[in-house]
Amino acid sequence: MIWNGGLVLYDGPMKYLSFLLLAATPAFADAPVVEAVTYSGGSFSVSLSHPDTGWDHYADGWRVELADGTILGTRVLAHPHVNEQPFTRSSQIIVPEGVDEVFVRTSNNVDGWADETTPFALN
């Protein structure tokens, strides 16, 4: 028996069990994609694309963060945008003086906040 990150792999007749467990694991959907970002007068406008299917799966937010992960502001997206792709939403977010770059992180209602961020230069 071999331990492999949460799965027990068998060396004997049940060696195919790990494959079956992996094959039965649901695939996670893609995170919303940041298509464009603008910043003017203290307002961020972020354009996203995501294969929204309706209330069961849709892009539900974006946020602006500093390099250390500090959240400057969050824009909640309250409904699906099935027939409006990509779509743009804005939010007033204050950026501290001296900050030259921020990062946009997206979310969907199935997978939550994405691991990846999109950098945006303020200059």
Tokens representing 28 are 């996670």
pTM, full prediction: 0.75
Confidence (pLDDT) at 29? 56
* pLDDT band, residue 12 (cuts 50/70/90): low
Confidence (pLDDT) at 83? 87
Q: What is the mean pLDDT of the chain?
A: 83
Q: What is the DSSP string of 76-103?
A: E--S--TTS-SEEEEEE----TT--EEE
Q: Phi and psi of 8, rounded to 5°?
A: -100, 120
If phi > 0 it is left, if psi is from -120 to 50 it is alpha, else beta; for residue 31 that is beta
Structural domains for the chain: 1-30 (no CATH), 33-121 (2.60.40.730)
pLDDT per position as a tens digit, 25-54: 344 458 899 999 999 999 999 999 998 889
CA 40/CA 22 separation, integer angstroms: 46
CA 87/CA 51 separation, integer angstroms: 12
Overall average pLDDT of the 56-68 stretch: 95
CA 114/CA 22 separation, integer angstroms: 22
Confidence (pLDDT) at 8? 46
CA 99/CA 66 separation, integer angstroms: 8
pLDDT per position as a tens digit, 69-86: 999 999 999 998 888 889
pLDDT per position as a tens digit, 96-110: 999 999 999 999 999
- Return the higher-pLDDT residue of 9 and 29: 29
Confidence (pLDDT) at 26? 42
